[in-house]
Structure 1
Amino acid sequence: MSGLVDALLIVLVAVVVTARQFRARRIDSERRWWLLPAVLLVLALREPGLLDVHHHTASVLLLGAELLVSLATGAGWAWTTRLWAERDGTVWSSGSAASLAVWAVGIGLRAGLFAVGAATGVHQDSSAVLLGLAGTLLVRAGILAWRGQSLRPAVTPSGAYGDGTAWSVGRERL
């Protein structure tokens, strides 16, 4: 993919995810919460420019730092998201001001890592950003699904045998 397409994809995913975090959303652990991060991971890993061949060690260190920041951002984002359960057992989530702060700090740290790479002459491709975004979304979705399971009742209440059946109170026959 070209750099422009990668940049547009990154901006689109970031805008959609950020906008959706402040709306109340139902958490469904049966849903494929890992699908979007998996697609972003495949897109990131299929491009050849993930590591700079001229600065291999520095490139690996910057990519590792990017991944650590991404995973920490995803975990912080998930733990600052409000969760609640409705009476019917559905679990809902909504981002908080702390979630927005975690997101902003994560973006700031990533920008700082990019600046360090640019100052040291390490070529950085958008694949690293896609990989980091995939890690952030995967960790966040996984932690939210895990946290949501603890709010659901273990067994859904069901009626007793015969509930809702009209019973005749007439005489019994032998």
Structure 2
Amino acid sequence: MTGLVNVLVIIAVVALVLRRQLSPQRLDTERRFWVLPLVLAVLALRDPGLVDGAHRALSIGLTAASLLVVLAMGCVWGWTVRIWRGEDGALWTRATKATGAAWAGMVVVRIGLYGLGAALHVHQSGSALMLGLAALLVVRTVVVNWRARELATPYRAGVAG
């Protein structure tokens, strides 16, 4: 896939995710949340330019560092999302200001990693961003679903006997 197509796919996915996160969403823990990240990961891993052949170790190191950043951000994102029970008993989610700050922090760190790669003359493709976005979406959803399960299970005090 060309770099332009990668960028367009990333922009479309980010726009979709942001639109959904900025408005209240009914939480459906049975949804197949892994489909979009799987498609993104497959597209990213098929790109032969994912790893710079001239700087293989540095390229893999930068990609790994980027993945660690997005995994951490996925956890933060999942913990900063507000989850509540609606009047109908369903669980709802919505991003908070803290979620926005986490996104901004991730973008700054990602730009820093890209700058480091450029300074080291390592070619970085959009596929690394797609792979990171896939990991981010999976981790966020796993954390939110785990939190929702905790909220869905009411605390039961010891039975008086």
Shift, 1:153, TM fit: 4.3
How far apart, in 2, do the equivalents of 1:79 and 1:90 lie?
19
Write 1 or 2 for the structure with the bigger share of helix.
Answer: 2
Superposed, 1:55-94 pairs within 5 Å as 55-94=55-94
Supply the distance in 1 between the matched residues of 2:22 and 2:67 (Cα, whole angstroms). Answer: 25
Q: Which 4+ runs in 1 deviate beyond 3 A?
A: none
Shift of residue 34, structure 1, vs aligned partner: 1.2
Letter in 2 for 1:50: L
Q: Tell me how far apart the structure 2 counterparts of residues 73 and 103 of structure 1 sit (CA, whole Å).
A: 7
Could you say which residue in structure 2 is the equivalent of 1:38? Answer: 38
CA RMSD in angstroms, aligned pairs only: 1.2
Identity within the alignment, %: 47
Take 2:30 and 2:133, find their aligned partners in 1: how far apart are those partners?
A: 22
Q: Tell me: CA distance 1:153–1:88, structure 2 relative to 1, closer, same or farther (3 Å).
A: farther
- One-letter amino acid of the counterpart of residue 112, structure 1: G
Q: Which residue of 1 aligns with 2:101?
A: 101
Of stretches 130-139 and 84-93 in structure 1, the one that deviates more from structure 2 is 84-93
Instruction: Name the counterpart of 1:6.
Output: 6
Do the aligned partners of 1:70 and 1:132 also contact (CA within 8 Å) in 2? yes
Unaligned segments of structure 1, at least 5 residues: 155-174
For each residue in 1:78-128, what CA deviation from the matched residue of structure 2 results, as whole angstroms up to 9, or x when unmatched? 100000112443110000000000011111111110010001000111110
User: Where does residue 171 of structure 1 map in the other structure?
Assistant: none
Q: d(CA) in 1 for partners of 2:71 and 2:88?
A: 33
- Aligned amino acid, residue 134 of structure 2: A
Measured in 2, the distance between the counterparts of 1:19 and 1:105 equals 19
Q: Displacement of 1:24 after TM fit?
A: 0.5
Tell me how far 1:21 sits from its aligned partner. 0.8
1:29 and 1:20 mapped to 2: Cα distance?
15
1:52 has 2:56 as partner: no
SS at match of 2:26: strand
**Which secondary structure state, in structure 1, belongs to the residue aligned with residue 93 of structure 2?**
strand
Larger radius of gyration: 1
TM-score by length of 2: 0.92
Q: Read off the aligned partner of 1:144 and give its amino acid letter.
A: V
Q: Equivalents in 2 of 1:3, 1:42: separation in Å?
A: 15
TM-score by length of 1: 0.85
